[in-house]
Amino acid sequence: MQNKEVDILVVGAGIIGTAIGAELSRRGAKVCVIDKGQVGKGCSYGNAGWMTPCFSMPLPMPGMLLKSMKWLMDPKSPLYIKPSLSLDLANWLFKFMQAMNETQAKRAVDCLVVLSQKSLTEYEKLGQKYPEMRFEQKGLLMVSRTPAGVAAAVEELNYVKELGVPGKVLNPDDIAAMEPALKSPLLGGVYFSHEAMAEPFQVVQAFAKEIRLHGGEILENTELVDLEIADNKIEKVLTSQGEIKAKQVIMATGSWSKSLAKMLRLRVPILGGKGYAMIVPPLAKQPKYPMMLVEKKIAVTPRQNSLRIAGTLELVDQDFSITQKRVENIKQGAREFLDLPEELQVQELWAGLRPCTPDGVPLIGYHKNISNLVLAVGHQMLGLQSGAGTGLLVADLVEGKKPFVDLSVLDANRF
Ligand SMILES: Cc1cc2nc3c(=O)[nH]c(=O)nc-3n(C[C@H](O)[C@H](O)[C@H](O)COP(=O)(O)OP(=O)(O)OC[C@H]3O[C@@H](n4cnc5c(N)ncnc54)[C@H](O)[C@@H]3O)c2cc1C
């Protein structure tokens, strides 16, 4: 690569970086997006593909303290925090506990619902232009076999319905009529009618096509290795392939952001929330709807000729290894709800690290001391569902327009 000069340099070509790059290219900026690997092969590759404003609750919700203590002890739980002596983990957990209060949760949900709804509208348009995304707006089912699971689903509905996310409570007969693939007995659930799903990797590719269509470029295998900062400004970005000068630099580096933040002289306490997704052949009774199996925290997404089953959240620091036991837990959990064959053939098994902030809210905004640096990281469980909206928000910020959400909730310098 020859040394370059652009208006906007986006670091990271996951859903967040490509959504930002696409929006700024459409608005006429000269954009370059770099990635140390390939476009969309980070956490955005194999996620459940849900675009679901109903799931806008941050991880540390009020009342989670006891539950999180239990997870700490139980490697079989859907959410697991492996005990370790890491200072980063202790610091993260301390802030996680601090964030479990009603005021904080309400502000976060208000903001994340808006970001997710904006995204949904954008994805609908993008899906029409790029049918390979397989955007489908069928709604989403939350189903449960236990009273606690039903209560959790109804609580989710109550939280978001006043923010304009429609849904209704279902009894077991309603569920059986809607989704014959589910085994009985079920106790109840909730149907959110406006939620959508798509092929996550194809969504990133659609944004990448938009970037190129509007004159931008994407450089793969190009890693940011250092920054030259002078007078509170990034003068140059040093990459593994050469130097890039940019008027504005945007960091969209997902779960890699904590270590990069040291270069930025900023605390970005992001840990990886490791999750697995497996693709299996279509079932004899193939589900029609995307479904959350509530008490197991398993996401089931019907695909054209297969089924995606995703779940677990294990807090780690850049560890991509696959623990077969946790994969088996997902299979067993799904088996309680669906007729899976005895010998389940897994066509693809994937692990991704959700970029998790301790308060469950992304960091979006300008760096307090570096005037041409914007952060857009830490989208935890909802990077796809809030990605397109993040693209609009960051483009507005860069253009000096009034943001459409309360930016103080997302403050990039809050840690
Ligand atoms: C099992 C599972 C299921 C999920 N389901 C859903 C879902 O249904 N809906 C939803 O909204 N979210 C879901 N998520 C979460 C979602 O996948 C993430 O929030 C999202 O992918 C984060 O996107 P990102 O662009 O921030 O990160 P990434 O996709 O990880 O992209 C970051 C990129 O930065 C690059 N990078 C890092 N460091 C450098 C560097 N120094 N130089 C250059 N490039 C660099 C990386 O190579 C990577 O490509 C799920 C996650 C998992 C694990």
Q: Do the Cβ atoms of 138 and 300 come closer than 8 Å?
A: no
Q: What digits encode the pLDDT tens for the residues 51-86? A: 999 999 888 877 776 676 676 667 777 777 777 768
Residue 351: pLDDT over 90: yes
Give the DSSP per-residue string, 155-212: HHHHHHHTTT--EEEE-HHHHHHH-TTBPSP--EEEEETT-EE--HHHHHHHHHHHHH
**Amino acid, res. 382:** L
Ligand 1 lined by 32 (C-beta under 6 Å): no
In a domain? residue 406 = yes
The total domain count for the chain is 1
In a domain? residue 241 = yes
Put simply, whether the predicted model's pTM sits higher than 0.95 gets the answer: yes
Report the CATH number at residue 376: 3.50.50.60
In a domain? residue 76 = no
Of all helices (H) and strands (E), which one includes residue 117? helix 102-129
Residue 298: pLDDT over 90: yes
- Regarding predicted confidence, which is higher, 262 or 150? 150
Average confidence (pLDDT) over 124-143: 98
**Distances, alpha carbon 238 to alpha carbons 26, 222, 227, 322, 413, in Å:** 26, 10, 6, 33, 24
In a domain? residue 135 = no
Ligand 1 lined by 132 (C-beta under 6 Å): no
In a domain? residue 236 = yes
Torsion of CA 322, 325, 326, 332, to 10 degrees: 140
193 vs 191: CA distance, rounded Å: 6
Confidence of residue 198 (pLDDT cuts 50, 70, 90): very high
In a domain? residue 166 = no
Q: Which domain holds residue 227?
A: 4-46+202-269+362-410
> 């693939």: which residue's tokens?
181
In a domain? residue 312 = no
Query: Residue 169 pairs with which residues in a beta bridge?
Result: 190
Average confidence (pLDDT) over 384-395: 98
* 282 upstream amide cis, omega within 30 of 0: no
- What whole-number percentage of the chain has pLDDT above 70? 96
**Average model confidence (pLDDT) for the chain?**
94
**Among 11, 1, 2, residue whose Cα is nearest residue 234:** 11
Atom of ligand 1 lying closest to residue 34 CA: 43
Best residue among 33, 38, 47, 278 to mutate for probing ligand 1, ranked by most atoms within 8 Å of CB: 47
Average confidence (pLDDT) over 153-163: 94
In a domain? residue 156 = no
